Chains A and B, each alone.
Chain A
Amino acid sequence: MRSTRLALGLLFTALLFGAAPLAAQTVKVGFMTTYSGPGAAQGDQLDKGAKLYFKLNRGKLPRGVKIDLITRDDTGPNPDVAKRIAQELIVRDKVQLLTGFVWTPNAAAIAPLTAEAKVPYTSMNAAGVSIVNLSPYMSRVSFTLWQSVYPLGQWAAKKFKRAYIAVSDFAPGHEAQEAFTKAFMEAGGEIIDAVRIPLANPDFVPYMQRVKDSKPDVLFAFNPAGKQATAMMKAYSDLGLGKAGIKYIGPGDITTDEELQGMGDAALGVITAHHYSAFADRPANKAFVAAYKKEYGQKLNPGFMAVGAWDAMDLIFHVIREQKGKLDPAQNMELIKGYKSPNSPRGPIAIDPETRDIIQNEYLREVRKVGGQLANVEIETLATQIKDPWKEFNKKK
Chain B
Amino acid sequence: MEAFLSSLVSVAFHGIAYGMILYVISVGLSVTMGLMGFVNLAHGAFAMAGGYVLTSAISRFGLSFPMALPLAFIVVAAASVLLERWLYSRLYDAGELEQVLFTIGLIFMSVATAQVVFGMLQQPVVLPDYLKGRVSLLGRDFPLYRLFLIAASGVIIAALWFGVERTLWGAMVRAAVDNRAMAQSIGINTRRLFTLTFALGSGLAGLGGALGAEIIAIQPTYPFEHLAYLLIVVAVGGLGSLRGPFAAALLIGVSDTACKYWLPEFGAFFIYVATIALLLWRPAGLFGKRL
A interface residues with partner B (beta carbon < 8 Å): 38, 40-41, 44, 169, 195-198, 200-203, 205-207, 209-210, 213, 226-227, 230-231, 234, 238-240, 258-259, 261-264
Determine if A259 and B268 form an interchain contact, defined as CB atoms under 8 angstroms apart.
no
Which residues of B lie under 8 Å from residue A239 when comparing CB positions? 134, 141, 143
Query: Is B221's CB within 8 Å of the partner chain A?
Result: yes
Q: How far is the CA of A205 from the CA of B134 in the complex (A)?
A: 14
Determine if A202 and B216 form an interchain contact, defined as CB atoms under 8 angstroms apart.
yes
Which residues of B lie under 8 Å from residue A169 when comparing CB positions? 268
| B: number of interface residues (CB 8 Å) | 39
Determine if B257 and A201 form an interchain contact, defined as CB atoms under 8 angstroms apart.
no
Closest 6 CB pairs of A and B: A41-B120, A198-B268, A227-B217, A206-B260, A238-B143, A206-B261
Q: Interface digits, B201-238 against A, CB 8 Å rule (1 contact, 0 not)? A: 00000000000001111011100011001000000000
Known contacts A41-B119, A203-B256, A206-B257; A263 and B124 CB within 8 A of each other: yes
Known contacts A40-B120, A226-B122; A207 and B217 CB within 8 A of each other: no
Q: How far is the CA of A207 from the CA of B226 in the complex (A)?
A: 20
Q: Smallest CB-CB separation from A227: which chain B residue?
A: B217
Known contacts A205-B257, A209-B11; A230 and B122 CB within 8 A of each other: yes
Query: Is B37's CB within 8 Å of the partner chain A?
Result: no
Say how far B221's CB is from chain A's closest CB, in angstroms: 5
Q: List 25 A-B contacts (CB under 8 A).
A: A40-B120, A41-B121, A196-B264, A196-B265, A200-B268, A202-B18, A202-B215, A206-B14, A206-B257, A206-B264, A207-B267, A209-B11, A209-B14, A210-B264, A213-B7, A226-B121, A226-B122, A226-B217, A230-B122, A231-B215, A231-B217, A238-B146, A258-B121, A262-B123, A262-B124
Which residues of B lie under 8 Å from residue A44 when comparing CB positions? 120
Determine if B18 and A195 form an interchain contact, defined as CB atoms under 8 angstroms apart.
no
Query: Is B126's CB within 8 Å of the partner chain A?
Result: yes
Q: Interface digits, B16-31 against A, CB 8 Å rule (1 contact, 0 not)? A: 0010000000000000
New A-B contacts (18) at CB < 8 Å, excluding given A201-B268, A206-B11, A210-B264: A38-B221, A41-B119, A195-B264, A201-B267, A202-B215, A202-B226, A203-B257, A206-B257, A206-B261, A206-B267, A207-B267, A210-B261, A226-B217, A227-B217, A230-B217, A239-B143, A240-B141, A262-B121
Known contacts A197-B264, A203-B257, A206-B257; A264 and B11 CB within 8 A of each other: no
Residue among B11, B217, B226 having the largest count of chain A Cβ atoms under 10 Å: B217
Q: How far is the CA of A213 from the CA of B260 in the complex (A)?
A: 14
Residue among A206, A231, A261 having the largest count of chain B Cβ atoms under 10 Å: A206
